[in-house]
Structure 1
Amino acid sequence: MELNQLRCFIAVAEELHFGHAAQRLDMLPSALGRYIKLLEEDLGTRLLSRSTRNVSLTPHGALFLEEAREIVERADHLQQRFRKLARQNAGRLRIGAIDSAVVSLVPHVLHVFRDSWPDVDIQIVEDKSSKLLPKLKSGRLDVIFMRPTEHMDDALENQFLFYEDVVLAISDKHRLSQRNEIYVDDLMNVPLIVPERRVRPHSYDLTMSLFDCASFKPQLVKIADEKQTIINMVAAELGAAIMPKWVARMSAMNVKFIPLAKEYQTIRTKLPLSAVWVKDSRDETRDNMMKVVMQELEVIAQQY
């Protein structure tokens, strides 16, 4: 006895017409008749009386109808219950990410991730690394994409992903805007817009590290902390800025983005990106997403 046989019997018992019942179940009347016949053979009794014009329930059929309805109802309820549980278990992935990760990494990963786990409820929080870490430690986030600190908490797992490339953002009216690459000596007497170090230490240190071996000190202009604001200040010819390569995708009229000369490529080590989560915490959904991250890492890194 199968659930499908019970559904067929219930439909015929309620319609008292094989054609109408078959239409209701979107199947051929002949196929419906075979299901009923198999059910009766399994039970060893007639459930329906058939004539050329009428279909009616036998006494056993009337008795069986109540039981069949209860079985099908319970089966449907059980299926719905466990599908709901599956959605809940799959159900949530809370991601924290700095602006760099939100630009390409997170969208790319989630696009691939959703192909295999479409029912996961995904929440994304964009913020600075210093703001994301407390949320991760307190359990409000499952994984974060951030700039790793020099001394990471031992309670955290840190998966290094890649370093980002670096460019100079400069007004297209500036004399340096026609260069194909930039050397540190080119930046003598060029005001450089930097954020406050306490707000964005990685961004501040990125600029300062360029001048570690220079014969002059950079001219710093601390007038903005957010990248879009810095780009707007560059467009207004208030200075240039050393920035991650991805900012070239931001809306920026009258701004050129020029790569640093190859001899300065070690500066990229100032822009690491890592995935971080609480060590020894079990989370199948997070682990599945990290598998996608590592699988797609080569493609993602090329975008940075």
Structure 2
Amino acid sequence: MDLHQLRCFIAAAEELHFGHAAQRLEMLPAALGRHIRLLEDDLGTRLLTRTTRNVTLTSDGEVLLEEARGLIEQADKIAARFRERGRHQTQTLRIGAIDSAAAGLLPLLLHDFRDQHPEIGVHLCEEKTIKLLPKLLSGRLDLAFIRPRPNMDARLVHRHLFHETAVVAVPKTHRLSRRESVSIRDLANESLIVPERRSRPHSHDLTMKLFAEAGQHANIVQIADEKQTILNLVAANMGVAIVPHWTSRMATKGVRYLPLRIPDGTMDKLPLAVAWVGKARDPLRDAMLSTLNERLTAYAREA
């Protein structure tokens, strides 16, 4: 029995669905099932009853679930405590950020933070929200700049910062590229490139909701995962894309960014939040949050 097997069991027991549990742990369902079978073999008992339609806990599984949660919580606390000891010895703050925040907000924030606290180093990890949250919970990150998700873990505190505005990325040779700005109606017949929804739900839904609110059909021709890939596809004349304003700082040859005209009050689809583990005391993290609070209004104007 090892901790990874217990984490797999807990996820399956809480989700009661192997596919959802595997997605939560970012692994294949077959691998999840293998780890749980190894755990059952090691303990000599069935923990889950699986059919083609559902998953249920056995009586032994119910007993183990409570004990496994306690073991994992204790293991995470031990790991976090020792990471914290090492981190404070080196005075390093570990920050995670989604790509648009890493391109736009973080350079502004880190510049101001370094002026105030030159003795504190910062390690930056750029990832999607779905990957940043587990790192935050396990103690591998101290702060994360994320798109807030529904039903976030109760151990996390998150604070809304502002909504990012959107721009339209078009090829420089496109018929719209000479415009000063565009509306959704201008994009009604255009080929659209959108992010994959599972990993970037806010960015994906941004395009879909803007078109729906304008009474237009979204002509999606390509789905891609990474922002840089989307911009490269735009540069290759594969289509146009609606992206966060700060994405325009990712210089891509052959792409022009146009302001998007939308009705007042409708641009609330790209929320940016900062999150951290609530009960842990951390003076380095609090120093960063203090700088963020002082300069937030100025940062929001840049978004």
TM-score norm. by structure 1 comes to 0.67
Indicate if the aligned counterparts of 1:166 and 1:244 stay in contact, CA closer than 8 A: yes
Shift of 1:110: 2.1
Shift of 1:264: 5.9
Identity percentage over the alignment? 48
Q: Tell me: CA distance 1:282–1:288, structure 2 relative to 1, closer, same or farther (3 Å).
A: same
Q: Tell me: CA distance 1:88–1:199, structure 2 relative to 1, closer, same or farther (3 Å).
A: closer
Tell me, which stretches of 5 or more residues in structure 1 are unaligned? 1-84
SS at 1:177's partner residue? coil
Instruction: Give the aligned residue type for 1:203.
Output: S
SS at 2:177's partner residue? helix
Q: Tell me: CA distance 1:103–1:215, structure 2 relative to 1, closer, same or farther (3 Å).
A: closer
Aligned counterpart, 1:15: none
- Bigger Cα Rg: 1
Aligned counterpart, 2:200: 200
Aligned counterpart, 1:123: 123
Tell me, in whole angstroms, the C-alpha distance in 1 between the residues paired with 2:151 and 2:275.
Answer: 13
Shift of 1:111: 2.1
TM-score norm. by structure 2 comes to 0.67
Indicate if the aligned counterparts of 1:169 and 1:242 stay in contact, CA closer than 8 A: yes
Shift of 1:130: 0.4
Indicate if the aligned counterparts of 1:164 and 1:272 stay in contact, CA closer than 8 A: yes
Spell out the pairing of 1:1-304 with structure 2 (5 A cutoff): 88=88, 91-263=91-263, 266-267=266-267, 269-304=268-303
Deviates more, 1:219-228 or 1:283-292: 219-228
Indicate if the aligned counterparts of 2:142 and 2:285 stay in contact, CA closer than 8 A: yes
Tell me, which stretches of 5 or more residues in structure 2 are unaligned? 1-84
Q: Report the count of equivalent residues.
A: 219
Instruction: Give the aligned residue type for 1:281.
Output: A
Q: For each residue in 1:256-288, what CA deviation from the matched residue of structure 2 results, as whole angstroms up to 9, or x when unmatched?
A: 211111416623x11111110011221111001
Indicate if the aligned counterparts of 1:145 and 1:276 stay in contact, CA closer than 8 A: yes
Instruction: Give the aligned residue type for 2:276.
Output: W
Instruction: Give the aligned residue type for 2:139.
Output: G
Shift of 1:223: 4.1
Indicate if the aligned counterparts of 2:101 and 2:246 stay in contact, CA closer than 8 A: no
Shift of 1:94: 1.1
Q: For each residue in 1:47-87, what CA deviation from the matched residue of structure 2 results, as whole angstroms up to 9, or x when unmatched?
A: xxxxxxxxxxxxxxxxxxxxxxxxxxxxxxxxxxxxxx9x9
SS at 1:212's partner residue? helix
Aligned counterpart, 2:72: none
Tell me, in whole angstroms, the C-alpha distance in 2 between the residues paired with 1:223 and 1:211.
Answer: 16
Shift of 1:89: 5.2
Q: Tell me: CA distance 1:88–1:175, structure 2 relative to 1, closer, same or farther (3 Å).
A: closer
Shift of 1:167: 0.7
SS at 1:266's partner residue? coil
Tell me, in whole angstroms, the C-alpha distance in 2 between the residues paired with 1:106 and 1:296.
Answer: 12
SS at 1:273's partner residue? strand
Indicate if the aligned counterparts of 1:211 and 1:217 stay in contact, CA closer than 8 A: yes
Tell me, in whole angstroms, the C-alpha distance in 1 between the residues paired with 2:234 and 2:264.
Answer: 22
Indicate if the aligned counterparts of 1:98 and 1:126 stay in contact, CA closer than 8 A: yes
Tell me, in whole angstroms, the C-alpha distance in 1 between the residues paired with 2:104 and 2:177.
Answer: 26
Indicate if the aligned counterparts of 1:196 and 1:222 stay in contact, CA closer than 8 A: no
Q: CA RMSD in A?
A: 2.1
SS at 2:107's partner residue? helix
Q: Tell me: CA distance 1:223–1:237, structure 2 relative to 1, closer, same or farther (3 Å).
A: same
Q: Tell me: CA distance 1:264–1:174, structure 2 relative to 1, closer, same or farther (3 Å).
A: farther
Q: Tell me: CA distance 1:90–1:287, structure 2 relative to 1, closer, same or farther (3 Å).
A: farther
Tell me, in whole angstroms, the C-alpha distance in 2 between the residues paired with 1:203 and 1:94.
Answer: 25
